[in-house]
Amino acid sequence: MIFGPPNDFREKSNSYRAVGELRRLIFAGELSPGSDHLETELAERLGMSRTPVREAALMLEAQGLVEVRPRRGIRILPVSPEDMQEIYDILTELEALAAARAASAPAGERDLSLLERSIEDMDAALKSEDRQAWADADERFHSELVRLGGNRRVEAITAMMADQVRRARAMTLYMRPAPVKSHEDHRGVLEAIRSGDAEAARRIHHSHRTEAGAMLIALLRQHRFHQL
Amino acid sequence: MIFGPPNDFREKSNSYRAVGELRRLIFAGELSPGSDHLETELAERLGMSRTPVREAALMLEAQGLVEVRPRRGIRILPVSPEDMQEIYDILTELEALAAARAASAPAGERDLSLLERSIEDMDAALKSEDRQAWADADERFHSELVRLGGNRRVEAITAMMADQVRRARAMTLYMRPAPVKSHEDHRGVLEAIRSGDAEAARRIHHSHRTEAGAMLIALLRQHRFHQL
DNA sequence: TTACTCTTTAATGCATACATTAAAGTATGC
DNA sequence: GCATACTTTAATGTATGCATTAAAGAGTAA
């Protein structure tokens, strides 16, 4: 599930459909963090038998999203500010690595258009004060950066964490100051990549993520989001 | 499987036994990289029915160790030098993070004895020219460092990659020069942690892993280990 | 031969049955 | 009332059966 290109059968297979469906339910808040759910219950809800649900639960457990506790149900793992700190720490390192690698790649083989596009979109969103649009573009920037880094495992790991980050960010989106500094950072990273300066790309992105993470965690704590 | 403390039921359950058993078979070389295996075949081999084997395969797939290809069998994923480079890049960043975090922790809460012990063991192994003992102690050093870093997700990710690294290192253990430089690096990291110098710990460990990784990859390529 | 279609084979995905056993509930003794 | 032993319940872990369908093989025409 984490690794490898999605084979087409995964779309047809109930097991993988269950993985996607459960992820969706979790992040839509329909399966709330900390709640327990019996295999039978979820199976009925998804309109399939226990087998594929069970398989999906095990895969989601391997991804750290749920915990399978025999006879007590499948628990949707809550994410505390401490968890979010862990996640941000990892994203900071791996994305900074990706930025450095993206800058090291031969200029000819790089297509920075998506990166540029996402920055433009953030720019527009900033001007029209559309925070959701900004957040969407920001997410595109980060995932495209990781893609340019060219490390499939980094892509897999960061993608796995993306959903949880998105949820935390959604909660604090309107509490934080306007992301003007972020915007400068993004431009700085792009420029460093374009000019092939790997260490600058790494450094700028690293401090960008570090600051953004610190702010997010502080907001979560301030607003007493002890679990989400 | 990746995350969370191992509940006791996992030892009893055939599914989790199958995960461990399959891992063992893979790294013992009994299931060679690139080979395909039908669910039925593995089930018979492990003395259980297809169900737990199937579940184990899905969990191992989530960990990136195998690929489940319907009707073609469970494929043991080969690891190329490029894959090993990806893995080392990630380990470099995450272990360097762990070193920094370990150095930042209050001195009173740190127990560096295991770290010291592993360095002493490496020292002894170096003198008696016992490379396997050195490699074992080295692995203990790295895993203990990650533990001290205090990020459970980093622990999970690095643990997941440890087996694959071990295999690659085993192949090159007797080809590389004596690990004298490594030894200095380890001492340097320990001293930086002890004195609470997070940035030094990070920097030294980062360059240590970078160099060790570059050497390993070069050896793999030299000796034409295109997949392992 | 090669390309194409049809048939056969068998591995899988899923549903289901059932034994096991943890947890909840009940009864008993103090 | 409270703790302990016993009974009941029901969720799980695993085996198994079967329909589906990809892949292999056979047959046919060029």
DSSP chain A: --SS---THHHH-HHHHHHHHHHHHHHTTSS-TT-EE-HHHHHHHHTS-HHHHHHHHHHHHHTTSEEEETTTEEEE----HHHHHHHHHHHHHHHHHHHHHHHHS-GGG---HHHHHHHHHHHHHHHTT-HHHHHHHHHHHHHHHHHHHT-HHHHHHHHHHHHHHHHHHHHHTTTSPP-HHHHHHHHHHHHHHHTT-HHHHHHHHHHHHHHHHHHHHHHHHHTT----
B26-50: burial string, b at 16+ Cβ within 10 Å, e else: beeeebeeeeebebeebbeebebee
Q: Give the per-residue pLDDT at B9.
A: 52
Q: A2 CA, C4 C1': separation in Å?
A: 39
How are beta strands B36-37 and B73-76 bridged, if at all?
antiparallel
As a whole number of angstroms, the distance between CA A136 and CA A3 comes to 24
Check: CB of residue A169 under 8 Å from CB of residue A113: no
Q: Given this model, what pLDDT does residue B205 score?
A: 98
Q: Quote the pLDDT of residue B1.
A: 37
Which CATH superfamily, name and number, covers B81-222?
Answer: GntR ligand-binding domain-like (1.20.120.530)
Q: At what angle do helices B180-194 and B113-127 cross, to 10 degrees?
A: 160
- Residues at the strand D interface (Cβ < 7 Å): A 38-40, 50-51, 54, 68, 70-74; B 9, 12-15, 17, 43, 48-52, 55, 70-72
Q: Which of B13, B61, B86 sits opposite A152 (nearest CB)?
A: B86
Closest residue, chain B, to A67 (C-alpha): B4
Residues of chain A found within 8 Å of residue B55, distances taken between Cβ atoms = 54-55, 58
pLDDT reported for residue B5: 37
Strands A73-76 and B36-37: unpaired
Those residues of chain B that have pLDDT short of 70 are: 1-12
The secondary structure element, H or E, covering residue B73 is strand B73-76
pLDDT attached to residue A9: 54
Q: pLDDT value at position A190?
A: 97
Distance CA A142, CA B74 (A): 33
What burial letters (b/e) apply to A25-43, b meaning 16+ CB within 10 Å? bbeeeebeeeeebebeebb
Task: Say how far apart CA A99 and CA A195 lie, in whole Å.
Answer: 12
B13-47 residue pLDDT tens: 899 999 999 999 999 999 999 999 999 999 999 99
* Ramachandran angles phi, psi of B179, nearest 5°: -75, 65
Fold classification of A9-76 is Arc Repressor Mutant, subunit A (1.10.10)
pLDDT of residue A177: 84
Spatial distance between the Cα atoms of A111 and B153, rounded to a whole number of angstroms: 32
Average pLDDT, chain B: 92
pLDDT at A65 over 90: yes
The residue ranges of every structural domain in chain A are 9-76, 81-222
Cβ of A101 and B94 within 8 Å?
no
In this complex, the answer to whether residue B43 has its CB under 7 A from any atom of chain C, a nucleic strand, is: no
Quick one: CA dihedral B36, B40, B41, B42, positive or negative?
A: positive
User: What's the CA gap between A26 and A22, in Å, rounded?
Assistant: 6
The answer, yes or no, to whether residue A6 has pLDDT greater than 70, is: no
**pLDDT at residue A160, as a whole number:** 92
Q: From residue B97, how far is each of A40, A94, B195 by CA, in Å?
A: 42, 10, 16
A74: exposed, middle or buried (C-beta count within 10 Å: 0-12, 13-18, 19+)? buried
CA of A10 to C1' of D20 (A): 16
The gap between B217 CA and D13 C1' (Å) is 43
